[in-house]
Structure 1
Amino acid sequence: MRLSPTRLSPTGPGPRSRVLHVSQPVEGGVARVVTDLVRAQLTAGADVTVACPPEGGLATAAELLGADVRHWHATRSPGPWLAQEVRSLRQVVREVRPDVVHAHSAKAGLAARLAVRGRVPTVFQPHAWSFEAVGGATGLFALNWERLGARWASRVVCVSEAERRTGQRSGIRGRWSVIPNGIDTRSFHPAPVDTVRAGIALLDGVDAAAPLVVCVGRLCRQKGQDVLLEAWREVDRRVPAARLVLVGDGPDAEALRSVAPPSVLFAGAVTDATPWYQAADLVVLPSRWEGMALAPLEAMACGRPVVITDVDGARESLPPGQGPRCLVPSERPDALAGAVAELLLDPLLRESLGHQGRRYVTTTHDVRRTAAAVADVYRDLIGSWPTGRDTGVDHTEYRESIHT
């Protein structure tokens, strides 16, 4: 099944490098990461295939970019259906004959490594470790699988040093690369708050001067919106005019709505969160675990200050010196409330933090850096890769971003 690197032609005519991305998540941060990589790799001249469930936005986005999309029917959790998922993915690999397989998140990492078993160079990118999400027997199974499955990963790509350290401390032995998440700083950018708010229907009737806190993320236990609502009681008391908007949908939506006070608004799922970042005075993400969340990076690219919990990747997301004000312990509503209220009551500090964040993200977390670093991993594994024409990126500039 493995193809010789000599068949590759990075710049001239002839066979082109082939990459197969496998992803079970089709919405949210993982889907955005895959979409950004597909865009960069197609621009660089590679043949790109995406195997993912047909529902959701990833398949559509990849098709619009010009990628070959294979519908892979996969559920979020392992179960008796896993064998069929592995068989169907094995068939995709036979048909595509990729030079490298890039599996994103726990379920795709499980199925892809079982399907390929090291016969094709395989990159596994956990996007936060699955064993952190569950406890008991399920958590133990997830941990033991990651320890075993590492043998079938040519490279494990973590989005933060903290995520890598978590894996190593948990007994996962692999060949590591750390490539921080990046975002499109041309799409996420500052805009006048008043103008943006005027264009958001949900804010009709909300005082234009009201301090606005925004939380963008799937409504689920991982993202910690329940902790934010508990903290909001104290914020509501200290800053009565403030409003909180939860942007996103998910399994916890109904439960969150049932306990939310009138000062909390629900925007539901949106195709583009940029206006919400631009409309916010402060963006909050109270996650219980992450690898490196995209939402804080997107918010800072829009010039907005953030408050985030001290989980994997959080410290590496923030500009140096912002930790004491913008980083709080996970599952500590009292600390979260204090940090949010303090910033809402200090507009000059918010403005300063927002400017710092924008400068930091544009120089450190541009998606083109991420794509170039991933390309270097592929080049290391398969011997050659397109040179990145028309991307505006010098790949050699970013090789220091990879830590093996």
Structure 2
Amino acid sequence: MVRELVRVGVADGHRVSVACPSSGPLREWILAEGADWVPLEMRRSPHLSDIRAIARMRNLLAEYEVVHAHSSKAGATARIAARMSDRDAQRKLIFVPHGWSWCVGGPLAVAYRAFERRMAHSCAYIVAVSARELEVGRRVLGEDAPLIVIENAVDTEHWSPRGPGAARPVEPLVICVGRLTEQKGQDRLIKALSHGELWHVRLRLIGDGEKRSYLEELAARTGVAKQVEFLGECDPAPHYRAADVAVIPSRWEGLSLVLLEAMACGCAIIATKDGSSEMLSPAGLEVGGDTDADVVSELAASLRKLLQDEPLRTELGQAARQVAERCYDKAGWTAKYRELWDRVGYLR
């Protein structure tokens, strides 16, 4: 999403800068696209280094006409900086959480809810990326919170069934794309493979993250290590085209871009309820449950069902592509963000 906004801003002739850590590929991509890179080192969890990040955010709010804060951590830092500045700084700030901070659960969930309620009005708009995220936000933040919804979208020309497919095994191939984290739920999918009748299935994980070692150990411990490929970071489009089924096993999401990419590529999809599967109906299978064990069991059952029914996979893949083209193409999304930028400028 950040990359698409950068492209739109640069194409419209704006001066665009992206503040992000120096590690990872984003910095080089930003410079190649004609935008400026601003170093901003942050950790996901609260840390003393956040004091420096807040100071940097105050400078950015003073310098730029519109400031986007993407993710809960960036949003928290930017809104604290805006509160320490003036009302003008708050009016130019747009916060896009991409999944509410309290959804992580654990001992900090109550504190995150209280913080978000307190800071809800310290920006011009909070952008929910799905109708469900908007609904959940209103329940916690209040009806008067400056919430709007702009659903995520993808380039349906790039993410398309047309194009080269990756090499694949003769066995059924399942793909799962995303950072290897607790949130994305790849552990659920690995556990599902250990259920009966899935011994022949190959799972291809695309992405990297702090849970990679744990997931490799889990695959070995559950006896499916030879079935799982860890590909790291790469373009997933050819792999979507090669796969029999794409799975989104997330524990929480705003609106999964991976889900939309897989839909646009015409994949047969299985998604957890918390992985934004309500956006998928009727073009895929939804799984859920009160516990992780319930979700794992439903994932295994849904995989068996789809992998044994090629006509159903074809039907679901075609329906998913149609939904993506009709509802989630980036053209409408781009227009809504341009309108939002104009609105923020007017508020000032």
**Residue of structure 2 in register with 1:116 after alignment:** 82
Alpha-carbon distance, 1:92 to partner: 3.1
Task: Tell me the TM-score normalised to structure 2 length.
Answer: 0.90
- Count of aligned residue pairs for this structure pair: 333
The amino acid of 1:313's aligned partner reads S
**Could you list the runs of 4 or more consecutive aligned residues of structure 1 that deviate by over 3 angstroms after TM superposition?**
none
1:312/1:378 CA distance change after superposition, 3 Å: farther
Matches of 2:60 and 2:139, distance apart in 1: 34
The 8 Å contact of residues 231 and 334 in structure 1, kept in 2 or not, is answered as yes
Task: Tell me the TM-score normalised to structure 1 length.
Answer: 0.78
- Please state whether the residue corresponding to 1:379 is helix, strand or coil: helix
**Residue of structure 1 in register with 2:312 after alignment:** 349
The 8 Å contact of residues 86 and 112 in structure 1, kept in 2 or not, is answered as yes
Superposed CA deviations along residues 259-286 of structure 1, whole A, max 9, x for unmatched, are 2114432333223111211111100011
Alpha-carbon distance, 1:327 to partner: 0.7
Matches of 2:323 and 2:11, distance apart in 1: 26
Superposed CA deviations along residues 150-177 of structure 1, whole A, max 9, x for unmatched, are 1112111000111111112223451111
The 8 Å contact of residues 242 and 263 in structure 1, kept in 2 or not, is answered as no
**Corresponding position: 1:369 with 2:332:** yes
- Please state whether the residue corresponding to 1:222 is helix, strand or coil: coil
The amino acid of 1:145's aligned partner reads F
**Residue of structure 2 in register with 1:326 after alignment:** 285
- Percent identity among equivalent residues? 34
Q: Pick one of 333, 336, 346 that aligns with 2:299.
A: 336
The 8 Å contact of residues 329 and 335 in structure 1, kept in 2 or not, is answered as yes
Matches of 2:198 and 2:80, distance apart in 1: 53
The amino acid of 2:12's aligned partner reads A
The correspondence of residues 1-400 of structure 1 with structure 2, limited to 5 A, is 33-94=1-62, 97-117=63-83, 118-120=87-89, 121-136=92-107, 138-172=108-142, 173-191=144-162, 196-198=165-167, 203=168, 206=169, 208=170, 210-234=171-195, 237-260=196-219, 261-311=224-274, 313-316=276-279, 318=280, 320-322=281-283, 326-329=285-288, 331=292, 332-383=295-346
RMSD of aligned C-alpha atoms?
Answer: 1.8
The amino acid of 2:88's aligned partner reads R
Matches of 2:312 and 2:288, distance apart in 1: 21
Q: Which blocks of at least 5 consecutive residues in structure 2 are unaligned?
A: none
- Please state whether the residue corresponding to 2:88 is helix, strand or coil: coil
- Please state whether the residue corresponding to 2:28 is helix, strand or coil: helix
Q: Which blocks of at least 5 consecutive residues in structure 1 are unaligned?
A: 1-32, 385-404
- Please state whether the residue corresponding to 2:299 is helix, strand or coil: helix
Matches of 1:275 and 1:367, distance apart in 2: 20
Which one has more relative contact order, counting CA pairs under 8 Å at least 6 apart? 1
1:264/1:239 CA distance change after superposition, 3 Å: closer
Matches of 1:312 and 1:258, distance apart in 2: 24
